[in-house]
Structure 1
Amino acid sequence: DTESVEEVVVLGSYAQSLKNAIDKKRNADGVVDAITAEDIGKYPDTNLAESLARITGVSIDRYNGEGSRVTVRGLGPDFNLVTLNGRSMPTVGGRSFDFADISPHGIAAVEVYKTGNAAIPTGGIGATINMVTTKPLDAPGFIGVVEASALDAYSVNGDDYTPQIMGIFSNTFADDTIGVSLSASHQVRHNREEQARVDNWRPNVNPTDPNAVWENNNKRPDGYTWYPQNAGYNIADNETERTNLQFTLQWQPSDDVRATLDYTNSEYEFFGERRGLGIWFNGFGSTTQAVTNERGTYTFVEEAGGDYAVNIGAGGKYNENNSVGFNLEWNASDSLTVTFDAHDSDAEGKGDPKWGSDTYMITGNTSYWGDAMGDPTATINRKSATYYSTGIHRWTFDLAGGQEALLPSDLGTLFLGASDYYSSNDMSQYQLTGLWENQDDSALKSIKFGVSKSEQDWVNQNMYSGQLPAGWWGYSESYI
């Protein structure tokens, strides 16, 4: 009897993902790390920064609980250059690129060049990070994926469950000489942030009067001490919406010529509302008890009198990125490959149309300036705060006259302010590159050469009202 043997062909696997990443490192000039789509897809990353965090030497900054900007080898976001398919990308608000704008869906690979390379755009002192989008002719045939999910996150003003939907479509035609791919994703996130904050630590403040109890454990040779300016708690309810779209059209009329036309769009919208309560320390003769640790930091402070404040605010931002590119690759001979690449890209950022990037009002009572609402029924008799190494502090205050809670009549407007911004960055780039590979077995393996031209137009506007008096000097009636 003849036994039949079933052949199983594995088209994608973790081993293949590792092989692709290793091949990129092996064939690259210099030190390069890379992750492929298989690596990215194994984790529920909300954006591309989360995926990059798994590369050695890459750390990320977080904004609103998500990865935002990257640091490579200790050099911050402003020192790293981000490219899309080898093209420089415009940014808003500075040199650093905000990866919160980019969904990992539709990205075929991310390459991190940690050393200089004459063939890539200049400007990446820490690293050059290249995002490679999907190309239909690289994976011939039909590919279709649709995915829908929901995220459960604690939120008060928003929804606890927020949707995410993505889809990828790719197909080739005419004996795999024409390819079309389209990917799109839409994410909505609602979340709450809870924060314990200290706005400043003031050096060498003499906080005590002669009758104060001060446990001074400071062992600093310079004798420096660090006194807290305040202690407060903040709560913010945030809403985020991200939309990405990528389209690619490829044509390969022969084995020697391949043309690629691609378009990428990303939109990111954020809006948040916050409120907070805190106390302020004076540090000049009003301290009754204090404890200083061996590093000179005050870990406990108690003061008589003082003020309390409540802050409310709202603001947001909207970022949009667009890029249209064309690439033509020609294998002129077995040794020579010539590539022409051109793209026109733009980035725009602005604040929320109603609240700008931030609008805030501070209300409360201060025993030093008085209150334009009239004499409050509650003033602070004594306040204290304990600061822990975890960064989460505990504070409290006692109200004079035996009152146990604040009343509306105890709060008056102190000051307010508003800020907004607008930024646009338009970039056009043209590149003509060549690669000559030596077919002989000699020390000289290859030569890369090329020329590049880019034009950039950047507009950046920032507006801030400053602190507008609304009670400290008795002018609050016009704001109430």
Structure 2
Amino acid sequence: MIQRTDVYKSSVPELQEGGIRATVNIITARPLDGRSGFHLAASAGGIYDTLREKLSPDLSAVTSLTNDAKTIGIVLSGSYTDRRSQLDYVQTDGWLFGPQNVVNGNANSTGLTTAALGNTGATVNVPQNLAFARQEDRRRRINLAGALQAKLRDQLLLTVNGIFSKFDVFTHRNIFANFYSSPHIGLQVDETGTATGFNRPGQ
């Protein structure tokens, strides 16, 4: 639990220097630094993923309890998130560069023989595959932190800090991929030498 952050842009005697730009001192929450009594604050939210059709909760809370004499106190905080998302995408994993073997014909050609086999001669860039994928992710995080303070004597203060964090990631992916190898039939090429369309000869 971060209560405040002190940023020192210039060197000061009581702090060890060595930062390139600044020294950052992170001050965590202490129960005896706050007000006495019982206090509680909480927040709740959620993110709805339209592709996954799931609501992901985002919860957090902080509470403190300190006696009136401010000699003993405890502060606890916790957060919980369970993010569910989905990603649909199409990708090409690589390209084939160079002259390509082709079949001189088109998608409607029938009765072709080996005489129809040819070569582009010039370099043509052809994708080696086309993959359709759906990836479902779940990221679940639990964070707990706390501090206990007891003023045993005027010059003796006991402070105990604790932190717990757990992060689980689950991924499920389905991929349907078509791999393209020559010869191609009806190969169409643009002015940059990149294939814009082709068919595969059937059996």
TM-score in same-fold range (> 0.5): yes
Shift of 1:301: 4.5
Largest Rg, 1 or 2: 2
- Residue 30 of structure 2 is matched in structure 1 by 135
Equivalent in 156, 170, 176 of residue 277 of structure 1: 176
Q: Which structure shows the higher helix fraction?
A: 1
Give, as a single letter, the amino acid of the residue that structure 2 aligns with 1:146: A
- Residue 208 of structure 1 is matched in structure 2 by 100
Task: Please give the secondary structure, in 2, of the residue aligned with 1:137.
Answer: helix
Preserved contact between residue 200 and residue 228 of structure 1 (Cα < 8 Å): yes
Give, as a single letter, the amino acid of the residue that structure 2 aligns with 1:170: S
Preserved contact between residue 7 and residue 25 of structure 2 (Cα < 8 Å): no
Give, as a single letter, the amino acid of the residue that structure 2 aligns with 1:165: L
- Residue 7 of structure 2 is matched in structure 1 by 25
Preserved contact between residue 213 and residue 289 of structure 1 (Cα < 8 Å): no
Cα distance in 1 between the residues matched to 2:172 and 2:89: 13
Say whether residues 1:234 and 2:133 are aligned partners: yes
**Alignment TM-score, normalising by the size of structure 1:** 0.31
- Residue 47 of structure 2 is matched in structure 1 by 151
Shift of 1:114: 5.5
Say whether residues 1:170 and 2:69 are aligned partners: no
Deviations 1:90-132 (CA, angstroms, capped at 9, x unpaired):
xxxxxxxxxxxxxxxxxxxxxxx96289xx9xxxxxxxx9875
Alignment of 1:21-420 (within 5 A): 24-26=6-8, 29=11, 115=20, 133-141=28-36, 142-156=38-52, 160-173=54-67, 175-201=69-95, 205-209=97-101, 212=120, 228-253=127-152, 257-282=156-181, 286=184, 288-291=187-190, 293=192, 299-305=194-200, 381=201, 400=202
Among the aligned pairs, what percent are the same residue?
Answer: 20
Give, as a single letter, the amino acid of the residue that structure 1 aligns with 2:139: T
Shift of 1:303: 4.5
Structure 1: state its 5+ residue gaps: 1-16, 31-112, 121-128, 217-224, 306-380, 382-399, 402-480
Larger relative CO (CA 8 A, sep 6+): 1 or 2?
2
Task: Please give the secondary structure, in 1, of the residue aligned with 2:8.
Answer: helix
Q: Which structure shows the higher strand fraction?
A: 2
Cα distance in 2 between the residues matched to 1:246 and 1:155: 34
Cα distance in 2 between the residues matched to 1:28 and 1:264: 31
**Alignment TM-score, normalising by the size of structure 2:** 0.65
Shift of 1:264: 0.8
Deviations 1:18-44 (CA, angstroms, capped at 9, x unpaired):
xx65xx2236649xxxxxxxxxxxxxx
Gap change, CA 1:230 and 1:133, over 3 Å in 2: farther
Cα distance in 2 between the residues matched to 1:172 and 1:25: 29
Give, as a single letter, the amino acid of the residue that structure 2 aligns with 1:172: T
Gap change, CA 1:169 and 1:114, over 3 Å in 2: same
Cα distance in 1 between the residues matched to 2:28 and 2:156: 20
Gap change, CA 1:253 and 1:130, over 3 Å in 2: same
Cα distance in 2 between the residues matched to 1:28 and 1:285: 69
Cα distance in 1 between the residues matched to 2:70 and 2:95: 65
Preserved contact between residue 167 and residue 185 of structure 1 (Cα < 8 Å): yes
Task: Please give the secondary structure, in 2, of the residue aligned with 1:279.
Answer: strand
Gap change, CA 1:28 and 1:167, over 3 Å in 2: farther
Pairs aligned (count): 178
Give, as a single letter, the amino acid of the residue that structure 1 aligns with 2:71: T
Shift of 1:136: 2.0
Shift of 1:187: 1.8
Cα distance in 1 between the residues matched to 2:19 and 2:157: 29
